[in-house]
Amino acid sequence: MAIAASSACQQNAKTTSTQTTDTTKKSKYLSQPLISEIYTADPSAHVFDGKIYIYPSHDIESGTPENDNGDHFDMKDYHILSMDSINGKVKDNGVALSVKDIPWAGRQLWAPDVAFKNGTYYLYFPVKDKQDVFRIGVATAKNPVGPFKAEPKPIEGSFSIDPAVFTDTDGTAYMYYGGIWGGQLQRWNNGKYEANRSKTDSQKENEPALNAKVAMLSKNMLRFDGAVKDVVILDENGKPLLTKDHDRRFFEGAWMHKFNGKYYFTYSTGDTHFLASAIGDNPFGPFKYQGTFMNPVEGWTTHHSIIEVKGKWYIFYHDTQLSGKTHLRNVKVTQLTHNADGTIALIEPMKK
């Protein structure tokens, strides 16, 4: 009995100390994971019919070794999350689209986004084709959580990763996309793919940085309408940001939102792990660099979306709180504030 009592005591002490460690660990973070049953990342959030839907990547441990191309981000399907309110219960709506059901796909289903028009939901997704080149595809559904059916081919003229679709107040939709390094943007030269271009070949330090891309979408939402353009980000002197400006130049994870009639292009600086904003007067830009609005999260990648819910603005983002591993991430949400001067207030994802 005595032994049992002592052992129970030790067990209690152990539980209490684990709980204390967990609580201390949790309290380091500005916000907590929205779900912990599966790993999720790259959250593109939207409000449809008053309900919040999150379209994330579904991170898994596939066993693919880690490398600079991001091969360990070896995702195979999408699960869409939904919630009635920002602090409400989060529902995982199950598999909405699988890589095996996309006729042209090879591997790596990365960060998606969605748009709604005339009763149809359009899911835009980047995946490597059978030649291992990232392209952007589209799948449709009548329900915001799917299941989605993929079009037989990728969007003509599309390449690279991280599509973010913004529908302006006049109903015109635009896709922002692109990502350097593993996202292959640097391999595209005048519309041609050069597989052997390394992540730095095309990026001379004193030359203008590579830009994200923007294309208007056709009325049926399945094609690009017109030329793909560069999303140019200008510095305080009206000059394009340079490649060497790693703290400010575009890397991946584009998003667009409109606030007070201005167009906010927000993005990840990648290897320096910031979220940055640049403001323009129209969807094509140019955009003037404004600053960092979120400091680095735990984990290498930084990817976000910004939406308005009932008059307040929120940022959805991810970190690696649950796993401590770069490729097994968890999505989160916190409030975002536009300052009186139009800039976005700095968010600190880790408490000091």
Summarize as ranges the residues that interact with ligand FUB (CB under 6 A).
41-42, 57, 73, 110-111, 161-162, 179, 252-253, 301, 303
- Which residue, 203 or 301, has its beta carbon nearer to ligand FUB? 301
Query: CB of 241 within 8 A of CB of 235?
Result: yes
Residue with tokens 């700095």: 346
**According to the 3-state scheme, what is the secondary structure of 309-323?**
ECCEEEEEEEECCCC
CA distances from 314 to 56, 221, 305, 306, 344 (A): 16, 26, 8, 6, 11
Least distance from C-beta 330 to ligand FUB, angstroms?
A: 13
Q: What is the CA radius of gyration of the chain?
A: 21
- Which residue, 31 or 343, has its beta carbon nearer to ligand FUB? 31
Least distance from C-beta 8 to ligand FUB, angstroms?
A: 45
- Which residue, 163 or 280, has its beta carbon nearer to ligand FUB? 163
Q: Give the residue among 153, 176, 147 at the shortest CA–CA distance from 306.
A: 176
Q: DSSP per residue over 163-189, as a string? A: -EEEE-TTS-EEEEE--SGGG-GGGEE
Strands (E), 130-170: 134-141, 149-150, 164-167
For the four alpha carbons of 18, 22, 27 and 29, in that order, the dihedral sign comes to positive
Query: CB of 125 within 8 A of CB of 145?
Result: no
Burial grade of 340 (CB within 10 A; 0-12, 13-18, 19 or more)? exposed
Least distance from C-beta 332 to ligand FUB, angstroms?
A: 14
- Which residue, 203 or 320, has its beta carbon nearer to ligand FUB? 320
- Say how far apart CA 304 and CA 34 lie, in whole Å: 14
Positions marked active-site: 42, 252
Least distance from C-beta 111 to ligand FUB, angstroms?
A: 4
- Which residue, 73 or 148, has its beta carbon nearer to ligand FUB? 73
Least distance from C-beta 254 to ligand FUB, angstroms?
A: 9
- Which residue, 57 or 203, has its beta carbon nearer to ligand FUB? 57
- Which residue, 215 or 275, has its beta carbon nearer to ligand FUB? 275
Least distance from C-beta 312 to ligand FUB, angstroms?
A: 25
Least distance from C-beta 231 to ligand FUB, angstroms?
A: 15
Q: Give the residue among 110, 57, 121, 45 at the shortest CA–CA distance from 83.
A: 45
**According to the 3-state scheme, what is the secondary structure of 225-284?**
CCCCEEECEECCCCCECECCCCCCCCCEEEEEEEECCEEEEEEECHHHCCEEEEEECCCC
Give the pair of three-digit tokens for residue 173.
Answer: 């939709």
- Say how far apart CA 137 and CA 150 lie, in whole Å: 7
